[in-house]
């Protein structure tokens, strides 16, 4: 199950703008959503989409289709990077993952690029007890 939490056309945070080598006041699309299994939240998604590379994302319907599936169908990429870490739950994670403030969460940050153009950066924070197995 998927639920759109918010969608904003807003400037990038300074750290992402620096990594992407774009002006900090450049507006991008930020999409926050929740992924659930049997109505229980297991992942909070916080995604930035580069509108200079994927301008039609601004008009995309993310109420019924999650942004990752939409991007796979609409935005090519040539490489990606993944960073796994542990973080303490903040207010957003507490509210949507139904965890106590400061709870340890596994977080995956993934960036995709097309040549030198950033396509998207997504942070996925997983609720305690969630098990992910990849082959």
User: What is the pLDDT at residue 130?
Assistant: 74
User: Does the structure show a pLDDT above 80 at 133?
Assistant: no
Q: Give alpha helix (H) positions in the chain.
A: 14-20, 67-74, 91-97
What pLDDT is stored for residue 132 in this prediction? 67
Conformational region of residue 47, where left means phi above 0, alpha means psi within -120 to 50, and beta covers everything else? beta
Pairing of strands 79-88, 117-126: unpaired
Q: Which residue has the tokens 């992402």?
A: 16
Mean pLDDT over residues 54-63, rounded? 95
Q: What is the pLDDT of residues 2-35, one digit of tens each?
A: 999 999 999 999 999 999 999 988 999 999 999 9
The model's pLDDT over 71-110, given as tens digits with 9 standing for 90+, comes to 999 999 999 999 999 999 999 999 999 999 999 999 999 9
Helix (H) or strand (E) holding 113: strand 104-114
- Round to whole Å and give the CA distance between 133 and 49: 27
With residue 117 as reference, give the H or E element that holds it. Answer: strand 117-126
pLDDT, position 128: 86
For the chain, what is the radius of gyration of the CA atoms? Answer: 15
């Amino acid at each position: 199950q998927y639920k759109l939490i918010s969608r904003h056309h807003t400037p990038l945070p300074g750290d992402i703008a620096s990594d992407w080598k774009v002006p900090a006041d450049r507006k991008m699309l930020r999409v926050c959503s929740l992924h659930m299994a049997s109505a229980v939240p297991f992942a909070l998604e916080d995604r930035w989409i580069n509108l200079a590379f994927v301008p039609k994302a601004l008009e995309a319907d993310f109420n019924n289709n999650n942004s990752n599936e939409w991007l796979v169908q609409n935005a090519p990429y040539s490489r990606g990077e993944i960073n796994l870490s542990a973080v303490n739950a903040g207010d957003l994670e507490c509210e949507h993952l139904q965890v106590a403030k400061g709870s340890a969460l596994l977080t995956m940050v993934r960036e995709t690029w097309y040549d030198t153009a950033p396509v998207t950066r997504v942070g996925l924070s997983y609720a305690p007890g969630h098990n992910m197995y990849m082959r």
